Amino acid sequence: MTATVLINTDDCKGEYTMFDLRSLDEDGAVLDGPLYLEIGETLELRVEKGDKSIEILARVHAVDDKEPSMVVRFVEKDPNLADFIK
């Protein structure tokens, strides 16, 4: 599974598939990639699994430099997330 950061601001628009998804549950995800965001930053993620995808608003909860990973927690609960994870 991959996680794409969706950027849609006045200054910048784009999609960046730069994270591998280590784990995903209904509360958040653990991402692995070349660049990590600041704790507290909010981002929109598109998580892709096979031919399905879901877009979720998330906030960076923790960054671990020793075991390169970034933990995000979902800001809003998506009613379709539980089915997507199965």
pTM over 0.85: no
Strand 13-24 vs strand 69-74: parallel, antiparallel, or unpaired? unpaired
| Whether the Cβ atoms of residue 56 and residue 78 lie closer than 8 Å to each other | yes
Q: What is the mean pLDDT of the chain?
A: 83
Tokens of 49: 């699994």
CB 71 within 8 A of CB 60: yes
| pLDDT-derived band at 4, boundaries 50, 70, 90 | confident
For residue 16, pLDDT over 90 is answered with no
Beta strands in 1-86 (DSSP E): 2-8, 13-24, 28-32, 42-49, 52-64, 69-74
Tokens of 38: 């600041």
The model's confidence at residue 35, banded by pLDDT at 50, 70 and 90, is: confident
- What value does the mean pLDDT take over residues 19-25? 87
pLDDT greater at residue 12 or residue 21: 21
